[in-house]
Structure 1
């Protein structure tokens, strides 16, 4: 019985894994939430206004508002040690296409491809079918430019599973 009580206590104080996207170049989500004072300096510094106040007041990314240009203004504005300034990649997130993509319903749409600067989204032609999107996860930088133009809300940006 004491083992189940100990396990309950551990579960009470353990951090749950979150699907929230934090600003680019953070060290880890845990270090971010442990050290972020929720001063909102990164939110006001963001040139595309995609950083918003999320759960608990912690900054998070909302790609429905636009894309990340990797300007690093959020990093420069933050007075806390939450960012890895020397880190080369901003994050390890990439885009993926959900099943409600219009192309799966036979509708010709390539709005995601048109918005993708790194050209990570291409379309595969098939005889008698509308071209289907394919994401090159090696080329995708997770900027989120493809999210807001999608008329079906069929693109999600997240950590690889």
Structure 2
């Protein structure tokens, strides 16, 4: 992992978004990611940087799936100390997001059975839907 990603860490971020405090590990490699709370819950977002792109200079499908995991899993968070794991993630790719796009995502909880949450999610940029899908997540105890 090169430290050159830190050169691209300053972005034009829409009002209301705060950076996720991920500065190490996998989060550092795919970030920076941002979030904001509104009346419908939590929305996560990111600006497509060069390190997020495929050969066509669109957000790589793997990045979109990683982002979907983080954005849709956030639907089960009660607060910032809620930890959860992904059981299943199903994604339907509908469109691409060119470098520089602001991408957002959120999900809504459809059901909770025995502590397992099923959510329905969407990823978009502007008015364009990039991905839809479903996820199954389980809230776990925080590790210290």
- Which TM-score band (shorter chain)? 0.3 to 0.5
Give TM-score, length-normalised by structure 2: 0.32
Rg larger in structure: 1
